Chain A
Amino acid sequence: MFKIESHNHPSFIEPFQGAATGVGGILRDIFTMGARPIALLDSLRFGDPSDPKTRHLIQGVVSGISWYGNCFGCPTVGGEIAFAPEYQGNPLVNVMCVGLVRADRIFRARAEGLGNPVFYVGNKTGRDGIHGATMASATFDEHAEERRPTVQVGDPFTEKLLLEACLEAMASGAVIGIQDMGAAGLACCTSEMPARSGTGLDVELDRVPRREGGMTPYELLLSESQERMLLVAERGREDEVRRIFEKWELDAVAIGHVTDDRHLTVRAGGEIVARVPVDALADGPRYEKPTAEPAGLAERRAWNPLARPEPGDCGEALVTLLASPTIASKRWAFRQYDQQVGINTLVLPGSDAAVLRVKGTRRALAVSTDGNGRQVSLDPRRGAAMAVAEAARNVSCAGGRPLGVTDCMNFGSPERPEILWQFAEAIEGIADACRALDIPVVGGNVSFYNETSGQAILPTPVIGVVGVLDDAERLATQWFRAAGHRVALLGPDDVSLGGSEYVWIRERQVAGALAPLDLEVERRVQAAVQAAIGSDLVTAAHDCAEGGIAVALAESCVTGPARVGCDVTLEAAGRADHVLFGEGPSRVLLAVEPTRTRAFEALMAEAAIPWRWIGTTGGDRLVIRGGGRVLVDVDLNRIEHAWRGGFERHVA
């Protein structure tokens, strides 16, 4: 069970609590279904890395995630951190959670059975977070930080107790349905639960546990105090439920019962303070709004990166790219997160995908998130499809077979036709890729109005993919393990500098055309990678992403436990920087032990994909040749130094 959700606006106003409660919210979404959370991933976007405000935001967001996830006891195993000026006034904090549940023990947010008691469980209600959901759906101006009181305050300890108590109550059989009190608090779950079941609810606000006096019914209904749930139990088993929550020292108060009148009736002080048809509250209106391609997009796409001069020294260009904070090591953040609690994490953060074993089986799960706002801004449909392809490719590179997608759609104001156009196109792109790769989208989240003073973020669909490995021992990581292994490149030669990290670093431009995406080739490449790993034929597998094949090779050399160089020859036609740093889908590097090359070649022959040997691992330099000359020849010390320090120097 998995889902991704955004907590962008609260994290800008108050980065620590904003990010922390983002983690808390998605954890509850998972355990309210009866699943035990086993992994968290965070997809973060910030503005200019050298701006002091950015440092403040990163430090706050990372420590908020660290505080909540670590205290709760769920490992943070992956995610990304990327930078672009468009996120300066509106950073993104997207959190994905993966949980484990038996397929026949999934709980849903139902309010069924006339007369069944409705319990309020968990934390007490205060005035925090009132209008949080409204704030999260408004655009920002220079007064954004005055809205700090709308940010909720988290308590991961209470959340941990709530997890244990809820799972125990569910296991007892006394629970009919349960829902998190998330956005819009009690008002939301008291209407959504009966709406889903065709029933009604009658609740008494005077019984709601609270931590401050004088709260009005309006405040009680809209408070977004954290770590609370609404639970419908079986009539006659009230004491059982109360005993379980008492054991975990949490409130569990019957505040009402299920009715059959399809209305939400709210009472306070002996009066009915609200009576509304539940469908009116739960159903969303359908909007038909104009869409339009942004002005100037065709010109931006037509920009030719190869009209710019070629770099004098591609080795130096590579070192600069590796030190880009978007590409460089994120160890500074990850070492603040518990990555191992639960003792399932077989592959820690730092490879294409994290891998977690499933105890009691031979299987493991591979998980990854991905999303490239620059590519989506240049071509929303293809860019979004590429994000799905890449997240799935990451999972394939760990040896996993992608099972499902969750998407977090971060966009500007949909009231602007060009933003809605980006959104509509991106949805089509995600659908294209998911159909071709045969992976369903099982859920997700839409976050609009990500803009400050009229400046919208890059359109950023963040894609989370979960895959399965049938044999947890047959997994792959991105780093070279030893010298003398042959290196293969799978996939097409079609790459582009359009929208690439290289063009951004050199030209500070987001322009040019994206490489073509052939989803059938993508599917076959991923199947071939999975088969090679599943047959124990490879010692490393790495996706070529930001920074192109040169960065991918450099990462394979220095990101593992041992530093292993390589010497490869790229035969593709084109200018050196295009070949080295051009970005394109469906490309994977694999390392193969010499004794396994025959079997590997046989497997590739069946795969019907473009592929070739490009070189061999070994030595303490990265050497890349092409067109009869040496394009890159850099000492691994320099590569590692650039990659290790590039992010940290901006944030530490």
Chain B
Amino acid sequence: MKFGVVVFPGTWSDCDFHYVVSEVLHQPVKYVWHRERDLSGLDCVILPGGFSYGDYLRAGAVAGRSPVVEALGDFVANGGVALGSCNGFQILCESGLLPGALMRNECLQYRCETTHLVTENVETPFTRLLRPGQVLTMPISHGEGKYQADAETLARLKKHHQIVFRYATADGQVTRAANPNGSIENIAGIVNEEGTVLGLMPHPERASETAMGGTDGLLILQSVLGSLVEDGGFLKR
């Protein structure tokens, strides 16, 4: 299974994802420059955190229209999967690959802290190793992570079980106090209708080693790996 980690000008979690995939997950991985359109040979494309193009205009707005992201639609349609974390989630929303938008945190400040996520959908390639209701511990680090969607979009997300993670307390209660950024209905991560594109604000790569305080984030990457092995290559390829 081959991972690609996209590098935009201003990306900074690229090295961290690269390290976790190669040194912890022991899988082949390469960097993909933002001008690339050729994603052949890759199974999973990761859009990491950072401030792509300085997040000028809006977070992820410029990167959402970059050559590599334009190629991502076909890549996913042809059986690949894509994971966007932090700025990657913002880019996926800006590009239209995921619905909704990420706005300035309700507190109007940057937030870097540990959050708990309750898992709502385990039928995706990113969550198949998880139990329904399982609580994951992962840090966030963002200034614009307040997920917003209109009522219609929200209803569609629920209908297709696209809400994968919500911010919760350590014992899995979805409360206002557990919501670090004011996201609507505590939404922390969603997938597209097909379940092949995941966007989440928290950082799985920062929770992939015991030394870094936990390995819950690794479960997401391991799920992707398991999906490929069990299904023989995301089936559709």
Contact = CB atoms under 8 A, between A and B. Distances in A.
Interface of A: 63, 66-67, 70-73, 155-158, 160-161, 248-249, 334-343, 345-346, 357, 359, 472-473
A359 B16 CA distance: 11
Nearest to B50: A73
Given A70-B143, A71-B54, A343-B206, A338 B112 contact: yes
15 contacts: A66-B110, A70-B51, A71-B55, A73-B51, A158-B54, A161-B10, A249-B9, A335-B111, A336-B110, A336-B112, A341-B16, A341-B141, A343-B206, A346-B211, A359-B19
Nearest to A359: B19
B57 interface: no
Contacts of A66: 109-110
Nearest to A248: B9
A338 B12 CA distance: 11
Contacts of B149: none
A363 to B, nearest CB: 13
A157 B206 contact: no
B53 interface: yes
B139 A340 contact: yes
Contact of B112 (A337, A342, A343): A337
Given A66-B110, A70-B141, A339-B112, A160 B51 contact: yes
Contacts of B109: 63, 66, 335-336
A340 B112 contact: yes
A343 B205 contact: yes
Contact of A71 (B10, B20, B139): B10
B14 to A, nearest CB: 9
B9 A157 contact: yes
B113 interface: yes
Interface in B173-203: 203
Given A157-B54, A343-B19, A346-B211, A338 B10 contact: no
B77 interface: no
Contacts of A343: 16, 19-20, 205-206, 209, 212
A467 B119 CA distance: 41
Contacts of A160: 9-10, 12, 51
A341 B110 CA distance: 14
Contacts of A338: 110, 112, 141
B54 A337 contact: no
Given A70-B110, A337-B112, A357-B211, A342 B15 contact: yes
Interface string B17-46: 001100000000000000000000000000
Q: Which 8 A-B pairs have the closest CB atoms?
A: A73-B12, A157-B54, A71-B51, A338-B141, A343-B16, A336-B110, A338-B112, A66-B110
Nearest to A160: B10
Given A70-B110, A72-B12, A160-B9, 15 more contacts: A67-B110, A70-B143, A71-B54, A71-B55, A155-B54, A160-B51, A335-B111, A335-B113, A336-B110, A338-B112, A340-B112, A340-B203, A341-B16, A343-B206, A345-B212
A67 B212 CA distance: 24
A148 to B, nearest CB: 23
A342 B13 CA distance: 7
A335 B114 CA distance: 10
Contacts of B15: 342
Nearest to A70: B110
Contacts of A157: 9-10, 51, 53-56
A172 to B, nearest CB: 17
Nearest to A155: B54
A336 B49 CA distance: 16
Contacts of A345: 212
A124 B217 CA distance: 41
B110 A337 contact: yes
A249 B54 CA distance: 13
A357 B19 CA distance: 14
Contacts of A341: 12-13, 16, 49, 141
Nearest to A346: B211
A559 to B, nearest CB: 15
Contact of A342 (B10, B16, B56, B143): B16
A157 B141 CA distance: 17
A215 to B, nearest CB: 25
Contacts of A155: 54
B112 A335 contact: yes
Nearest to A334: B112
A484 B34 CA distance: 55
Contacts of B10: 71, 157, 160-161
A451 to B, nearest CB: 32
A66 B143 CA distance: 10
B211 A472 contact: yes
Q: Give the interface centre of B54, B112, B209 by most chain A CB atoms within 10 Å.
A: B112
Nearest to B56: A157
A157 B51 CA distance: 7
Contacts of B16: 341-343
A41 B206 CA distance: 20
A160 B209 CA distance: 27
A319 B139 CA distance: 31
A155 B51 CA distance: 12
Contacts of A72: 12
A159 B26 CA distance: 32
Nearest to B143: A70
Contacts of A359: 19
A342 B54 CA distance: 18
A340 B141 contact: yes
> Which residue of A72, A73, A336, A472 has the most chain B CB atoms within 10 A of its CB atom?
A73
A340 B206 contact: yes
Nearest to B211: A346
Interface string B40-74: 00000000011101111000000000000000000
A72 B13 CA distance: 11
Nearest to A72: B12
Contacts of A161: 9-10
Contacts of B139: 340
Interface string B142-160: 0100000000000000000
A398 to B, nearest CB: 15
B21 to A, nearest CB: 12
B43 to A, nearest CB: 23
Nearest to B208: A343
B111 A336 contact: yes
Nearest to A337: B112
Contacts of A342: 15-16
A357 to B, nearest CB: 7
B58 to A, nearest CB: 14
A131 B228 CA distance: 61
Nearest to A63: B109
Contacts of B203: 340
A473 to B, nearest CB: 8
Nearest to B20: A343
Contacts of A158: 54
Between A158, A342, A346, the greatest number of chain B beta carbons within 10 A of the residue's beta carbon is seen for A342
A37 to B, nearest CB: 11
A22 B13 CA distance: 23
